[in-house]
Amino acid sequence: THKMGETVDTLERCCVSLSVNPSRGLMDEKFIILVQKALPGFQLTIHASYHCEDGNSWEAFAHYTADAGGTVNVSQDTSLGGTYSGVEAMGLLWSLRPVPGSKPGLRLRKKNVQTPMEVTISVYQGHQTEGFVDQVPLASVLVERWYMAPGVCRIPITEEGLTATLFVPAGNGPFPGLLDLWGGGGPLVEYRAALLASHGIASLALNYLTPKTTMETGKMVDNQYFEKAYKFLQQHPQICDSRIAMLGLSLGSAFTLKMAVYSQVMKLRCVVCIGGSHVQPVDGSVEQVLGYMEKNSEKTRFTENNEMIWRDLLLPIPTDPSFKVDVGRLKCPLMLVVSEDDQNWPAPESAKDMKEMMERAGNSHLLTVLSYPNAGHLIEPPYTPHVRISMFRTVVMALWGGQMVEHSRAQEDAWKKILIFLRENLYDIKRNVRAEIKNTYFSSR
């Protein structure tokens, strides 16, 4: 029977102990994975498994050898191979990849932020690379990774014709506020706003491409839509009306920069743009900005696997000022997060041009540029997997660029610095911002 015949296996299984601390953490918190009571020199594989809401499975694994004390500490020991190598405390999360046999072009994005991402961390005997699902692990723990800290409230917003979700931190407030704009990829994405609220910033994830009004009338929103979102934050009883920031990724950066410079209504405390550009018809609405890119779509290039490279659509950087947001007029601090292998937007070229514009205008002291070699377009909160390509709007395969290790380091570093930047500008913390984050040219060597 099951119990009779397994004495030796049972002893071994009983021996090895596995712990992950914290077992419930925020998505951007580090954890410590510890294997103990193995035999000295014991070869083992640590495996991570995650089943997505969309039904796909992701896994990561790494090969270790227990030390003289029978211990493996993932934060200190070297992985000898697997989906990552070297000393990588969080490698089991950022090196997750779809299991063999999965559809191509998958991307790991949590839709429901009110439940945690549940990752199973297991230990297997020997250095293995496949067939984990058919084996019984020596030990296994379940780890929860949360976008929402305890007490954070999620509130869907439909007032004023807005389609958005507000995340309010725990506590009585008032809190600084933030307007969060995602890229052109699709439906409303909430997780970054949820995580920012977990760090004390009331954040509004705004759907500006497919809000209810557009779905019903077929008309895209105008620039006043962003101002309405800003005013909503200002008037909220738990948000401080004079401490509001804006953060945009990819296409969202375009509107973030436009509103930061030209809006008479929006008085932003600071602005963060990730993987974006200032190149657009400056008087244009959302529809016209998209139209401008459409017009240049013949500049699309293709990889040998037919993945689309869109970075040339906005190149070369125009000299005509009606096609570039005049960042020389910006009155608040701006942080640009730039990936040097961005195959989707010409972020490095745009950042260079913006720097020059601000130097000529005399406001370059407001600018901070974080630039990451070998990072791709999608700089997301840390410890989620890098995807070099994925399906874009379920229709085409887009090339984002980046190499896994450097991209993952970039995500971790950028997020830390974005949080410091936001905190210092939204809370007026008197610290030498320059000394902390400066113009960073991140070296992966």
Partner 1 sequence: MWSKCRWSTVMFSFLHRRSSVMSQTPPIVSVLPTRGLVDEKFKVLVENLPPGRPVTVRSLHHSDNGHYWEAFGFYTSDHRGTVNVSKDQSVGGTYTGKEPMGLLWSMCPVPGSHKGLRLRKLNMCSPMLVNISVHSGHEGFRDGAPLASVLVERWYMAPGVKRIDVQEKGLLYLFSPGPFPGILDLWGGGGGLVEYRSALLASHGFATMSLDYLSCGQPVFTYVETAFNFIKDHPQVIADRVGVVGLCLGSLPALYLAADSTVVKVVKQITSPLLLVSGCDDQNWPSFETAEDINQTMRAAGNDHLLSRLDYPDSGHLIEPPFSPHFRASTFVTTNKRKAMILWGGKTKPHSDAQEDSWRKILSFLQQHLCCSLNAKL
112 sits near partner 1 (criterion: CB under 8 A): no
Burial track 140-169 (b if 16+ CB lie within 10 A, e otherwise): ebebebbbbbeebebeebeeeebbbbbbbb
What is the distance in angstroms between the CA of the first residue and the CA of the last residue of the chain? Answer: 55
Write out the binding residues for partner 1, residues 241-300 only, by CB under 8 A: 241-243
DSSP 150: T
Number of residues that bind partner 1 (CB under 8 A): 52
Q: Looking at 89, 141, 157, 309, which residue binds partner 1 (CB under 8 A)? A: 141
Q: Check residue 55 for interaction with partner 1 (CB under 8 A).
A: no
Provide the angle, in degrees to the nearest 10, between the axes of the packed helices 251-262 and 224-235: 70
Check if 79 is active-site. Answer: no
Closest contact distance (angstroms) between CB of 240 and partner 1 is 4
Among candidate residues 198, 250, 277, 364, the one labeled active-site is: 250
Binding region for partner 1 (CB under 8 A) out of 46-54, 59-67, 145-153, 319-327? 145-153
What token pair was written down for 392? 């874009």
Minimum Å gap between C-beta 224 and partner 1 is: 23
Spatial contact of 207 and 186, defined as CB atoms under 8 Å apart: no
Is the alpha carbon torsion for 259, 262, 267, 272 positive or negative? positive
Write the CA distances from 193 to 166, 206, 331, 367, integer angstroms.
8, 10, 24, 23
Shortest distance (Å) from residue 149 CB to partner 1: 5
Instruction: Decide if 257 contacts 273 (C-beta within 8 A).
Output: yes
What angle is formed at CA 282 by the lines to CA 279 and CA 285, rounded to 5 degrees?
110
List the catalytic residue out of 77, 342, 353, 413: 342
The pair of three-digit structure tokens given for residue 295, joined into one six-digit string: 């017009």
Provide the mask over 1-20, with x wherever binding to partner 1 is found by CB under 8 A and - wherever it is not. -xx------xxxxxx-x---
**Candidate residues 80, 99, 157, 170; the one interacting with partner 1 per rule CB under 8 A:** 170
Answer for which of 25, 81, 284, 373 binds partner 1 (CB under 8 A) is 25
Q: Is 143 in the site for partner 1 (CB under 8 A)?
A: yes
Distance, C-alpha 220 to centroid of its chain: 26
Beta bridge partners of 440: 370
**Binding status of residue 136 toward partner 1 by CB under 8 A:** yes
Provide, rounded to whole angstroms, the least separation between the CB of residue 17 and partner 1: 7
Least distance from C-beta 170 to partner 1, angstroms?
4
Binding residues for partner 1 (CB under 8 A)? 2-3, 10-15, 17, 21-26, 29, 37, 39, 70, 116, 118, 120, 136-137, 140-144, 146, 149-153, 170-174, 198, 200, 237-238, 240-243, 423, 427-429
